[in-house]
Structure 1
Amino acid sequence: MDKQLKRMATMQRIQTTGLEIFYQKGYFNTSIDDILKELSLSKGAFYYHFQSKEEYFISIVQNLLFRKVYSSLIEPIEGQEDPLNKIVACFDDALETAEHNFLDYGFVLSNFITEFNGKNPDIMNYLQDILKVWEVNLVTALQKGKTDGYVDRHIDSEAVATYLISSYIGIRTLMVEGNSKMLRYKYIQQLRQYFKLIEYKEPA
């Protein structure tokens, strides 16, 4: 059992460090040697766990990246009442976390989607799967909001979900080089205004 726990701890360390390096430098600008140097790991030890750099990256996407996106952008609104307010709070919390990240290189999922687009269909599928889970979660929350009387029944939930994802990715990109605090504030204010337009209103 101790050996199994030790192996799990090693894998966690290797994957966590790998995600940090790939996030900062990009996948194609990162070599196996860069990873080994950062981890103080031998090639033999690395290839004991992974057959290739691609397999290593996929394991990071499946284990760490999915969990990261899920915990910050999906779980907080899953099954909740009053989805519009929950989405605002969720986005604001995630943006505040990014605002205080002094090594901010943008939204990690969209960075990788941009990097792999047209270059590696297999990895793109894994990344797109995370995006789809996020989209389905938003659509489900909005549909529930319609049923529960929080969201106008005439809105197109899929279109709103697409808008929310694309606007979130956009503001995260702008925050890298701009005044992140002000950008976050303006974005959240406008999001609240938009949600006022699509919330359910009692008939006059």
Structure 2
Amino acid sequence: MEKHLKRIVTMQRMQKTGLELFYQKGYFNTSIDDILKSLSLSKGAFYYHFASKDEFFIGIIQQLLFRKVYSALIEPLESNENPLTLIERTLDNTLETAQHNKYDYGFALGNFLNEFNGRHPEIMRYLKDITKVWEVNLISALQRGKSNGYVSRHIDSESVALFIISSFLGMRTLMVEGNGKLLRYKYMQQLRTYLKTMEAVTH
């Protein structure tokens, strides 16, 4: 049992370092040797835990990347509060975190979606699964908002979810080299105006 737990801890440490490297340099620009150097591991030790670089990265997507996106952008929506308020607060909080991160290389999920698009269909499927979960939860939150009288029943929840995801991904890309504080302010100002148009008349 102790050996099994030790292996899990080692794998988690490897994945955390791997995610940081892939985030900074990109998947295709990061070699196994780069990973080994960062972890102070031998090749044998790496291949004891993972059969390949692809398998290593898929584990990172499932164990770390999904959790990061879920805790930041999906879990906060799982409430019966006004979903328009929840969406605004969630995106603003996430952008604020990025704004104060001096090692910001962009939104990890967005970076990887761009990098793997047309280059690696299998890994692309895992990444798109995360956006699908995010999209489904946005739609569910908006639909709940309609039932609870917060959101106008005429709103197309699927289109709104698509717009929110795509605009957020774009804003995170712009924030890497731009004035994060100003961009966040302008984006949130427009987002609030957009969300206000969806309010139910009774609210």
Q: Name the TM-score class by shorter chain.
A: over 0.9
Question: In the alignment, which residue of structure 2 is the partner of 1:89?
Answer: 89
Question: What CA distance in whole angstroms lies between the structure 2 residues aligned with 1:88 and 1:59?
Answer: 31
Question: What CA distance in whole angstroms lies between the structure 2 residues aligned with 1:189 and 1:2?
Answer: 52
How do 1:49-198 and structure 2 match up within 5 A?
49-198=49-198
Question: In the alignment, which residue of structure 1 is the partner of 2:19?
Answer: 19
TM-score (norm 1): 0.97
SS in structure 1 of the partner of residue 103 of structure 2? coil
TM-score (norm 2): 0.98
Question: What CA distance in whole angstroms lies between the structure 1 residues aligned with 2:202 and 2:88?
Answer: 22
Residue 154 (structure 1) shift: 0.2
1:17-63 superposed Cα distances (whole Å, 9 cap, x missing partner): 00000000000000000000000001011000001000000000011
1:80 and 1:86 in contact (8 A); partners too: no
Give the AA of the match of 1:126: Y
1:36 and 1:43 in contact (8 A); partners too: yes
Question: What CA distance in whole angstroms lies between the structure 1 residues aligned with 2:51 and 2:4?
Answer: 20
Question: In the alignment, which residue of structure 1 is the partner of 2:199?
Answer: 199
Residue 9 (structure 1) shift: 1.2
Question: What CA distance in whole angstroms lies between the structure 2 residues aligned with 1:190 and 1:101?
Answer: 23
Residue 79 (structure 1) shift: 3.1
Question: What CA distance in whole angstroms lies between the structure 1 residues aligned with 2:187 and 2:74?
Answer: 19
Q: How many residues align?
A: 203
2:146 and 2:153 in contact (8 A); partners too: yes
Give the AA of the match of 2:33: D
1:176-200 superposed Cα distances (whole Å, 9 cap, x missing partner): 0111011111111111111111111
SS in structure 2 of the partner of residue 51 of structure 1? coil
Give the AA of the match of 2:76: P
Question: What CA distance in whole angstroms lies between the structure 2 residues aligned with 1:8 and 1:55?
Answer: 15
2:113 and 2:124 in contact (8 A); partners too: yes
Give the AA of the match of 1:46: F
Residue 202 (structure 1) shift: 2.9
2:149 and 2:202 in contact (8 A); partners too: no
1:73 and 1:90 in contact (8 A); partners too: yes
1:110 and 1:169 in contact (8 A); partners too: yes
SS in structure 2 of the partner of residue 149 of structure 1? coil
> How many percent of aligned residue pairs carry the same amino acid?
68
Residue 110 (structure 1) shift: 1.1
Give the AA of the match of 2:163: Y
Gaps of 5+ in 1: none
CA RMSD of aligned residues (A): 1.0
SS in structure 2 of the partner of residue 198 of structure 1? coil
Question: What CA distance in whole angstroms lies between the structure 1 residues aligned with 2:22 and 2:202?
Answer: 50
Question: What CA distance in whole angstroms lies between the structure 1 residues aligned with 2:3 and 2:80?
Answer: 40
